[in-house]
Amino acid sequence: MYGYLCHTFPRPISAASHYKYSLTDNIAMQITDFELFAVPPRWLLLKLETDEGIVGWGEPIVQGRLETVRAAVTELIEAYLLGADPLRTEYHWRKLYQSGYFRGGPILMSALAGIDHALWDIKGRHYGAPVHELLGGHVRDKLLVYQWLGGDDPEDVAVAAREDRERGYRAFKFNFAREFRPIETPNAVDHAVERVAAIRDAVGDDALVGVDFHGRVSKPMAADLVERLEQFDLTFIDQPLLPEHDDSFASIAERTTVPIATGERFYSRYDFKRLLVDDGVSILQPDVTHVGGISEMRKVASMAEAFDVAVVPHCPLGPVAFAASLQVGFCAQNVVLHEQDLDLHDPATSQRLKVLEDPETFQFEDGYVKRPTGPGLGIEIDEALIRELAQTEVNWYNPVWHHEDGSVAEW
């Protein structure tokens, strides 16, 4: 499919956008146009333009539902934002969220997230400041990031872990198992536990290690497995249950000393509310591309802080999403660790950082990324390369796994 979408302003503002005053009355700057670029490996990037020449970038995406999100972003911008003042970030967030009688969920909140990224990028560039400074100022100078570890064989995973430890990473996360039946054999459980043991042994006791159940483990098995993993002094166990079972997280947390985490499939502060009130988690992992963007993620972090709950943002996507997420990480006290999937240790060869004009924008040292100081999101996109990449068809879907009896397994 053609990789990018462009619209030309002016066009009529929809009736839904009219109140007692015109959106174009007495404003210094207006949103005039937008483009969407689908680029490998699975990203959707939004370019939001203004009549003053200031451009903002966002990353609205649900992995595997790119075209659906593209349609939602287009609909929201055309109906509510063209001709509007981009600096009214909070007003636009409320309007895009609240104007629909049906709201929330992965598609609408991810579309809103990417738009919110771009609006904050414009706002920061307008004022000549990083977004985190507009959100109250930085509370840290650097932020610890973790590396994802793949592989099924314990020995292979251990080798990868040692290599990444030598590259400077001090924190790691990996999936507990692949297909995992609702009731599993002792051999399957032992194999998964061996992977955890191998990684802990490879990185040593001075590294942070998180294990992601990815919602693949059934409630009858999750509690016993969490207890069995206590011996490895884990930093957290992520998604021990599916988000559909958020009412059972507290019962898991009561049975273990391992901090329980979740959040990448929660889409607003309202989704997180039950977990906090029930004392079901020690760590929230919101994703800035799914949780309504910078505006909502900042509120989620503040709400979590009131419950003494840490935040470890989920972010396995591109540099635009990473840059947006970092803006919250540097102004929120309880953001203690951050995901990245960009090969920060070697920007010269990173395929994912090449879409930036300066692949070394994110300064990585001793497991930390330094505070970005550029205006807005703090990055500059290589737009010529983005347009070239957008000519490639991007049609990524997550694998559909099956158990040996033919039933669908959780991915």
Active site residues: 214, 314
Return d(Cα 262, Cα 309) in angstroms, integer. 11
Return d(Cα 294, Cα 325) in angstroms, integer. 7
Handedness of CA 201, 202, 206, 212 (dihedral sign): negative
User: What is the total residue count of the chain?
Assistant: 411
For 342: left if phi > 0, alpha if psi spans -120 to 50, otherwise beta; the answer is: alpha
Token pair recorded at residue 129: 């400041």
Collapsing DSSP states into helix, strand and coil, what is residue 34?
A: strand
* Amino acid in the structure at residue 151: G
Return d(Cα 56, Cα 320) in angstroms, integer. 10
Token pair recorded at residue 21: 């005053």
Q: Determine if the peptide bond prior to 41 is cis (ω within 30°).
A: yes
Token pair recorded at residue 16: 């839904």
